[in-house]
Chains A and B, each alone.
Chain A
């Protein structure tokens, strides 16, 4: 938004429709790109698949859409409520916290025989991990009574790396047979055969959060004023923050339970939505969901032909590689957008 004139409401909604069109395009691409075993090796094909194959690909599209949209909305809420353009579930350590929570529950399942924390139940430990890290990062990120954007991000980096170390410890403690699962999952993956209850539960959570945040778009917009100004125009800032940050944490947890930690999407999708659809949460909640979904479905399509001889490139690896430059770009751009 380096142009100084703002867009009309009709233009903003048109941009949301445009994002939906990009998602449809991405889904079609993912449906058509595939690999066939020819007997001597894999061959990339680009065509409408037969029904037996398309069922798997539709599953993957459903997972990537749910996960990408959840990350987009989670990132939007974090960026708005913490007034921090660099915030995302990954940068602030929510993803690593959720991953650690889940890994611990995996260990409990393997070592102690707990079975309640699989499938939809796995959102629980992921949520506990995500909210615990958000609390630690929030406390560590305070400076002079307020949340300082850079301190917050630094706290997120430190907490992430501590979670990473603890994750290695859990990995070390796991019985050798189940270590492979943990590794594959911590790389971030889009499952073609997801747990249906986990997928449907996550999609329902996503729909509820999008509806709630869009209904309260006016309050979320006002929260972008300074604390005292937001409160003086009548916003219950503490309650709005609490409810919306819980929503952001739940979405991050569900996305990790479904697909593991995935970088880049939660950071970039809200910016993409704001650039095309303007700053108001009336459009950006849905816009961030659509942008996040489109980005992850596209990434999942793009990785299909990439194989270095050890199977398709995990989607989390691709997004993590894109995430670094994206962060640097936003670090530069944040000043232009007038965030600070």
Chain B
């Protein structure tokens, strides 16, 4: 397979593991959603997957196109090489004060050949063309998140790895639709997409595959419909919470058609 794979991985910080023995893989051309309660270790796992932190135990591998035709451990790559094969959006983005929207999106090309057309199409994709000369710190939170997404879009090369930590949280419905459309399109074009999503309903509609984290381990991994089965979610969160989140409709049935 090509994509990313985790083999008996433990992640954590300050010497304490928040997740143990995770074995899973995310394949090329698919959207993999990491789901789980707050503090389940989603963000820490995504950082390790992106090569920004090393796992405490086990191995993370980028395989195939992402690995440059090889199977490599991302934490061992130079920042430059890593940036040419993957793009990462953290949960809480920080935009440097005073810079224009265009300049921040262009920072996505830091380790890549400059490309005005890539920057412009990223601005267009997230409806930022009319805002491109605005200073980023004067934008609303939702607009800033679109700038973060456009920066990642300008960086992402076809066939690369895309890792996003709760990218939809600050977005309104229209913006969310735009971002979800983009993710489906890049996955269809051969990217490996891994993202964490808080909203289980949204996760079930967007994901091809789901990793469900609970109790410091990987509770289940596989096709979204199977992993997010109502019986399992009710066991984990309680029936009332699932009714509230999913409106009484089983997530597998509420799924939208796949992107073409």
Question: Is B94 part of the binding interface, using a Cβ–Cβ cutoff of 8 Å?
Answer: yes
Partner of B103, one of A234, A237, A274, A280: A280
Q: Which of B74-82, B176-184, B194-202 contacts A (4 or more CB under 8 A)?
A: B74-82
Question: Is A222 part of the binding interface, using a Cβ–Cβ cutoff of 8 Å?
Answer: yes
Q: How far is the CA of A235 from the CA of B79 in the complex (A)?
A: 6
- What's the count of A-B pairs with C-beta under 8 Å? 101
Q: How far is the CA of A278 from the CA of B108 in the complex (A)?
A: 20
Kindly report which residue of chain A lies nearest to residue B155, judged by CB atoms.
A233
Which residues in window 5-28 of A have CB below 8 A to B?
A: 5-6
- Asked if residues A233 and B96 are in contact (CB atoms below 8 Å), the reply is no
Question: Is A309 part of the binding interface, using a Cβ–Cβ cutoff of 8 Å?
Answer: no
- Asked if residues B97 and A224 are in contact (CB atoms below 8 Å), the reply is yes
- Asked if residues B90 and A237 are in contact (CB atoms below 8 Å), the reply is no
- Map CB proximity to A onto B8-31 as digits: 1 under 8 Å, 0 otherwise: 000001000000000000000000
Residues of B within 8 A of A229 (CB): 88-90, 93-94, 148, 151
Q: How far is the CA of A224 from the CA of B97 in the complex (A)?
A: 8
- Asked if residues B107 and A233 are in contact (CB atoms below 8 Å), the reply is yes
Partner of B110, one of A226, A233, A280: A233
Question: Is A231 part of the binding interface, using a Cβ–Cβ cutoff of 8 Å?
Answer: yes
Kindly report which residue of chain A lies nearest to residue B148, judged by CB atoms.
A229
Residues of A within 8 A of B99 (CB): 6, 221, 224, 279-280
Residues of A within 8 A of B260 (CB): none
Nearest CB on B from A220, distance (A): 10
- Asked if residues B97 and A232 are in contact (CB atoms below 8 Å), the reply is no
Q: How far is the CA of A278 from the CA of B135 in the complex (A)?
A: 10
Question: Is A195 part of the binding interface, using a Cβ–Cβ cutoff of 8 Å?
Answer: no
Assuming the contacts A4-B134, A225-B96, A279-B98, asked whether A235 and B88 have C-beta atoms less than 8 A apart, the reply is no
Kindly report which residue of chain B lies nearest to residue A338, judged by CB atoms.
B137
Q: How far is the CA of A5 from the CA of B110 in the complex (A)?
A: 23
Residues of B within 8 A of A232 (CB): 50, 52, 82-83, 86-88
- Map CB proximity to B onto A218-247 as digits: 1 under 8 Å, 0 otherwise: 110110111011011111110000000000
- Map CB proximity to A onto B134-170 as digits: 1 under 8 Å, 0 otherwise: 1111100000000010010001000000000000000
- Asked if residues A225 and B107 are in contact (CB atoms below 8 Å), the reply is yes
Question: Is A1 part of the binding interface, using a Cβ–Cβ cutoff of 8 Å?
Answer: yes
Assuming the contacts A4-B138, A229-B88, asked whether A234 and B83 have C-beta atoms less than 8 A apart, the reply is yes
- Asked if residues A225 and B86 are in contact (CB atoms below 8 Å), the reply is no
Assuming the contacts A280-B103, A337-B98, asked whether A222 and B133 have C-beta atoms less than 8 A apart, the reply is no
Question: Is B95 part of the binding interface, using a Cβ–Cβ cutoff of 8 Å?
Answer: yes
Assuming the contacts A1-B135, A228-B88, A338-B138, asked whether A279 and B97 have C-beta atoms less than 8 A apart, the reply is yes
Residue picked from B50, B80, B82, B97, most chain A C-beta under 10 Å: B97
Q: How far is the CA of A226 from the CA of B103 in the complex (A)?
A: 15
Q: How far is the CA of A155 from the CA of B122 in the complex (A)?
A: 42
Assuming the contacts A279-B97, A338-B97, A339-B97, asked whether A234 and B82 have C-beta atoms less than 8 A apart, the reply is yes
Q: How far is the CA of A233 from the CA of B94 in the complex (A)?
A: 13
Question: Is A177 part of the binding interface, using a Cβ–Cβ cutoff of 8 Å?
Answer: no
Nearest CB on A from B250, distance (A): 36
- Asked if residues A5 and B135 are in contact (CB atoms below 8 Å), the reply is yes
- Asked if residues B96 and A221 are in contact (CB atoms below 8 Å), the reply is yes
Which residues in window 262-307 of A have CB below 8 A to B?
A: 274, 278-280
Residues of A within 8 A of B52 (CB): 228, 231-232
Question: Is B47 part of the binding interface, using a Cβ–Cβ cutoff of 8 Å?
Answer: yes
Which residues in window 51-98 of A have CB below 8 A to B?
A: 83
Question: Is B121 part of the binding interface, using a Cβ–Cβ cutoff of 8 Å?
Answer: no
Question: Is A145 part of the binding interface, using a Cβ–Cβ cutoff of 8 Å?
Answer: yes
Nearest CB on B from A272, distance (A): 13
Nearest CB on B from A271, distance (A): 11
Q: How far is the CA of A6 from the CA of B137 in the complex (A)?
A: 11
Q: How far is the CA of A219 from the CA of B148 in the complex (A)?
A: 18
Q: How far is the CA of A235 from the CA of B90 in the complex (A)?
A: 16
Residues of A within 8 A of B79 (CB): 231, 234-237
Q: How far is the CA of A229 from the CA of B87 in the complex (A)?
A: 9
Residues of B within 8 A of A4 (CB): 134-135, 138
Residues of A within 8 A of B92 (CB): 226
Give 9 nearest A-B pairs by CB, closest first.
A338-B137, A234-B111, A224-B96, A234-B83, A279-B98, A226-B94, A232-B88, A6-B100, A4-B138
15 cross-chain CB contacts under 8 A: A3-B135, A5-B134, A221-B99, A225-B104, A226-B90, A229-B90, A232-B50, A232-B52, A233-B87, A235-B79, A279-B97, A279-B98, A280-B99, A337-B97, A337-B98
List 5 additional A-B contacts (Cβ < 8 Å) besides A233-B107, A337-B98: A6-B100, A145-B13, A224-B96, A229-B90, A338-B138
B residues bordering A, Cβ < 8 Å?
13, 47, 50, 52, 78-80, 82-84, 86-90, 92-100, 103-104, 107-108, 110-112, 133-138, 148, 151, 155
